[in-house]
Chain A
Amino acid sequence: EVQLLESGGGLVQPGGPLRLSCVASGFTFSSSAMSWVRQAPGKGLEWVSGISDSGDSAYFAESVKGRFTISRDNFRNTLYLQMSSLRAEDTAIYYCAKATDFLNYFDYWGQGTLVTVSS
């Protein structure tokens, strides 16, 4: 059974950093591209970032480019999202998602972790 378990969310002050983690199991993590998708309270879905299976290629939404970094540890089956210079508009549930093919579609999702940016 595919499982994705996010952690690291919480309350952070504007301008602060936060690192999210997503531990994967039930599939060959090192062969799967992965993404982060977020959802602000009461709003729709926003793709944030994606990374290739090897970690060689990464892509970002314009809204987070230069502030967020995505990485992965294929030995620990773990995906990361390092967030810096956080803003109130980054407040959202952050979902880790397994991608089909090359970051085309998202066939498995974690339960999400809530990030709240507020003073």
Chain B
Amino acid sequence: DIQMTQSPSSVSASVGSRVTITCRASQGISSWLAWYQQKPGKAPKLLIYAASRLQSGVPSRFGGSGSGTDFTLTISSLQPEDFATYYCQQAYSFPRTFGGGTKVEIK
């Protein structure tokens, strides 16, 4: 199975700040990567797929980059509604696997 490792596991940030989350795959996955946002008590929401493609309806302050084994999710200007946990997921092979999550908290 492909292991997905996210860092940091949590980050404290202020509204308006730039936040970067990293996801590393245990082997190359080309661009087969997605990012999800999950708020407490809610289902996950797809933000980014194919490493850098913005899902319809997702604000443009969210951006994804990377290929191979190293990927990043960037929130260019953090908004109050962005405080949540973020997960990466590989779609290169079965079983699909998720990273452990990064919790973005208010500073």
Q: Which residues from chain A sit less than 8 Å from chain B, CB to CB? A: 35, 37, 44-47, 50, 59-62, 95, 100, 103-107, 109-112
- Write the nearest CB–CB distance from A79 to chain B, whole angstroms: 15
Q: Which applies to chain A's interface (DSSP): helix, strand, loop or mixed?
A: strand
The residue in chain A whose Cβ has the minimal distance to the Cβ of B53 is A105
The CA of A60 and the CA of B95, in the complex, are separated in Å by: 7
B9 → chain A closest CB, angstroms = 10
Chain A CB within 10 Å — which of B55, B95, B100 has the most? B95
Bound: A62/B95 CA distance, A: 8
How many residue pairs, one in A and one in B, have C-beta atoms under 8 Å apart?
A: 56
The size of the chain B interface, using a CB distance under 8 A, is: 22
- Min distance, Cβ A20 to any Cβ of chain B, angstroms: 15
Residues on B facing A (Cβ under 8 Å): 1, 32, 34, 36, 38, 43-46, 49, 55, 87, 89, 91, 94-101
